[in-house]
Amino acid sequence: MLWAFWAAKEAAFKIFRQSGEQAVFNPRAYEVAIDGRLRPGYAPFERGCVACRSGPVFVRIDAAAEYIHCVGTGNCAGLLDSAVWGVEKIAENEGESAGARRIAAGPLSLRWGIPESGVEIRREKARGSLLPPRVFIAGVETDTSISLSHDRPYAAYAFLDRS
């Protein structure tokens, strides 16, 4: 449960950062409520809500024996079912960030009906900190909201197409 709460807090923080908020991650500022009880291997999906001063974030948590993955949306709980997400192992000879981008490129290329080589995920710096990742198709920025996570040996992605 501790890691499920932590994953939910991180998901909420990422959502607020994508909306332009410049807050520092303070776990105590996020209150998590999870419906039901996580039982890895038995009930892989649990839903909940993260409350903080910036508003609610609705979350869905996937608990497996090897990892916990959380997907969230600040718009409405119904959008959780529209999110495309996955968790895969990173290749041994691959960097974590590169692995996360490669793993996400497959589903993005399917969404856009193009080869994976046409998908680029960029994460740029501004004012000394990294900005949220952005998706480019054939060099053109899309309206796709994406989040990448990695903790070897796994990488995860979640995206929501806003177009």
Instruction: Based on the fold, state whether residues 139 and 73 are members of the same structural domain.
Output: no
98 shares a domain with 78: no
Number of Cβ atoms within 10 Å of the Cβ of 48? 21
Same domain, 109 and 135: yes
Domain stops at, among 67, 82, 97: 82
Q: What is the pTM of this model?
A: 0.82
Last residue within a domain, chosen from 82, 116, 133: 82
Q: What is the mean pLDDT of residues 12-37?
A: 82
The answer to whether residues 65 and 98 belong to one domain is no
Same domain membership, residue 95 and residue 74 = no
Distance CA 38, CA 61 (A): 9
Residues 42 and 6 in one domain: yes
Residues 74 and 11 both lie in one domain? yes
SS3 84: strand
Whether 123 and 62 map to the same domain: the answer is no
Over 90: is that where the pLDDT of 37 sits? no
* Predicted local distance difference test score (pLDDT) of residue 44: 55
Strand stretches in 66-118, DSSP E: 68-73, 84-89
Cα–Cα–Cα angle for 45, 5, 82, rounded to 5 degrees? 40
Are residues 112 and 67 part of one domain?
no
Structural contact between residues 162 and 145, judged by C-beta atoms closer than 8 angstroms: yes
How far are the Cα atoms of 57, 85, 112 from residue 97, in angstroms, in the given order? 25, 16, 22
AA letter at 160: L
What is the pLDDT, as a whole number, of residue 76?
76
What residue numbers bound the domain in which 20 lies? 2-82
Q: Are residues 74 and 104 in the same domain?
A: no
Q: Is pLDDT above 70 for 119?
A: yes
- State mean pLDDT over 89-93: 95
How far apart are the C-alpha atoms of 51 and 76, rounded to whole Å?
Answer: 13
**How many domains does the chain divide into?**
2
23/94 same-domain check: no
Q: Given pLDDT bands bounded at 50, 70 and 90, which one contains residue 45?
A: low
Indicate if 7 and 46 belong to the same structural domain. Answer: yes
